[in-house]
Chains A and B, each alone.
Chain A
Amino acid sequence: MTTILVVDDEFLITDILVDALEEEGFRVLTASNGRKALEVLHKEVPALVVTDFMMPLMNGLELAQAIKANPDWVQIPIILVSGAQGAIARAHPDLFAAVYDKPFRIEKVVAAVVETVGARRGS
């Protein structure tokens, strides 16, 4: 089963993403900020990370940079869902496979996850 890590401090967003991704047949792990996401990554490497930008302790950009700096994780595609920082994220195309602005359409994010993970499998 393919595992996805969802990182967001807002539980509502996490819950919605978890439900939708589980319905698609993914196994979903969650973390409420970047630093907690790194703790999860040390235990288990997911197929993809969906992260928020503005979070306590470590934001989405810092998390993405930490992931790309680790040779074990560098291949993990990252999707960013963000309110106001979409532009900052788009300035780093090397870090993010896709960027979605909040409020986002859940099916689009799910479709992007399926496409990215699927494409990666095929490559």
Chain B
Amino acid sequence: MPHELTRIETGVEGLDAVLRGGLVAGSSYIIQGHPGAGKTILSNQIAFHHAASGQHVLYVTLLAESHERLFENLSTLAFFDPSKLGNGINYVSAFSTLRDEGLTAVVKLLRQEIGRTKSTLLILDGLLNAREKAESNLDVKTFIAELQGHAAFAGCTVLFLTSSRLDESSPEHTMVDGVIQLKDEVFGVRSARRLQVRKSRGVKAMHGYHLFEILDRGVVVYPRLEAVLGQPSMVDSPTTARTTSGVADLDGMMGGGLQQGSGTLIIGASGTGKTTLGLHFLAQSTPEEPALHFGFYETPERLKLKARSLGLDLDPLLASGALEILWQPSTENLLDGLAHKLLEAVHRRGVKRLFIDGFGGFERSALEPSRMVEFFTALTNELRALNVTTLGTWELTDLFSRQIMAPMPEISSVIDNLVTLRFVDQYSQLRRLLSILKVRDSAFDPSFRELAISGQGISLPETFGGSEHALEGTPRLDGRTRS
């Protein structure tokens, strides 16, 4: 069996997953990023987590900034615990030692201090100043090697923080076991923070960029969904069992309802009845088979009102815990943050019935639209493996287009069932037309139905029976236009 390295949990949400278990105990890491990138918050969060488990941390600054300033800034974050200052975490400055006595004296001071405080985590903030004090690259290497050596013998893990842009060939990078880079980048008018593990000896960290946020509870990393769930978290066990869509006529057309654990996409323009269909689907929830509404448009209050107009009452479902409504305005969301929130809510309540209104909300939050296919593939595979029956919407921009454009061919292919909704004009009346394009591994009724909405909900009458050209938006009986 391969040797397992001892790990230290960082306690930073998502970061341990990116590092596949945390920092390697006794190893040394560089955390780099320009000022404001989040290095100090990240490393202090790790320090407080480490101290909370009864271990000791030595936090050494080579910076001019005072510790009081640092504490003041940290005091707004939930993880900051002033009782740990000097009692679990020792903050000391080695600036004057560096300035007056040089790098060797700093190493000596820290060696003594690690032993004295019995620290198992050393954080050295301001590696750039050590580099500036060094006369050559060899000095930098010696400094890092000596500190690493002393720390390793004391069983102490080291984090070096630096604001300089170091590359792979820098003496710092060649010496340490891992490099974590933090960036705050601008995309159009918005900015986003991203973390990347650029080096990790002995550990297969999740490569590439991972979005992160700094919230009141500290840094939260959202590992890139397709990297975490490249393979679903559990084995998919498909069944032939069916579950109701909430619309009896639709169940009939689909051969007895939606396949349990399947994904269904409803495509249609605004107003064609996508959310209405979804509300019927959610109204079938029970505390044993709970449902989740994950939407970007209507607030919970508006949804309840809309449901009431269809003869559906969501209040008892919400009260019994059968239904949860999670609304995220489609403003500045982080793609993986949304996925994380969705999957967390699914796991938390054991959700079996999920309505996503709509997938466009995910797409709009993407900073690199090119990864949407991989993202949706990972998300739908995971929901399938969790046996969550999912109904999702995709809004088309064109109200009366004759063409029905699949949002992305690759997404349609990972979806089990495809239903389209559109407006048609018949007898000078606007009607909604429903048609099923695809039901995986099952026969279905391919006829065009009217989606009729009343105070009693949805029915699918065969209004267009005998019509032609219905898909063009103007159904004609016997080839003649009736108006």
Contacts and interface: CB of A to CB of B under 8 A. Distances in A.
A14 B64 CA distance: 12
B68 interface: yes
Interface residues of A, number: 20
Contacts of A85: 85-86
Contact of A103 (B68, B83, B95, B116): B68
Interface stretch (A20-28, A38-46, A54-62, A72-80): A54-62
A70 B122 CA distance: 34
Interface hub of A10, A53, A102 (most chain B Cβ within 10 A): A10
A9 B109 CA distance: 12
Contact of A57 (B67, B71, B99, B116): B116
A54 B99 contact: no
A10 B85 contact: no
B112 A11 contact: no
Interface in A59-96: 59, 83-85, 88
A32 interface: yes
B237 interface: no
Contacts of A119: none
Contact of B96 (A14, A54, A59, A83): A14
Contacts of B82: 84
A13 interface: yes
B116 A10 contact: no
A103 B70 CA distance: 12
Contacts of B95: 9-11
Chain B: interface size category? 20 to 34
Contacts of A55: 92
Given A32-B97, A57-B112, A12 B66 contact: yes
Interface of B: 60, 64, 66-68, 71-72, 82-83, 85-86, 90-97, 99, 109-110, 112-113, 116
Contacts of B97: 32
Nearest to B101: A32
Nearest to B92: A56
Contact of A56 (B66, B83, B109): B109
A32 B71 contact: no
B85 A83 contact: yes
Nearest to A16: B66
B86 A53 contact: yes
B99 A102 contact: no
A120 B71 CA distance: 35
Interface of A: 9-14, 32-33, 53-57, 59, 83-85, 88, 102-103
A83 B74 CA distance: 13
A75 B208 CA distance: 63
Given A12-B64, A56-B112, 14 more contacts: A9-B96, A11-B93, A11-B99, A14-B96, A54-B90, A54-B91, A54-B92, A56-B60, A56-B90, A56-B92, A56-B113, A57-B109, A57-B113, A84-B71
A33 B99 CA distance: 15
Nearest to A53: B86
Contacts of A33: 92
Contacts of B67: 10, 54, 83
Contacts of A84: 71, 82-83, 85-86
| A-B pairs with lowest CB-CB distance, top 10 | A84-B85, A56-B92, A9-B93, A11-B96, A102-B68, A54-B86, A10-B93, A56-B113, A32-B96, A84-B82
Contacts of A11: 64, 93, 95-96, 99
A85 B88 CA distance: 13
Contacts of A10: 66-67, 93, 95
A54 B116 contact: no
Contacts of A32: 93, 96-97
B238 to A, nearest CB: 58
B68 A9 contact: no
A84 B66 CA distance: 13
Given A84-B71, A84-B86, A9 B92 contact: yes
Nearest to B59: A54
Contacts of B71: 83-84
Contacts of B64: 11-12
A33 B106 CA distance: 13
A21 to B, nearest CB: 18
A32 B85 CA distance: 19
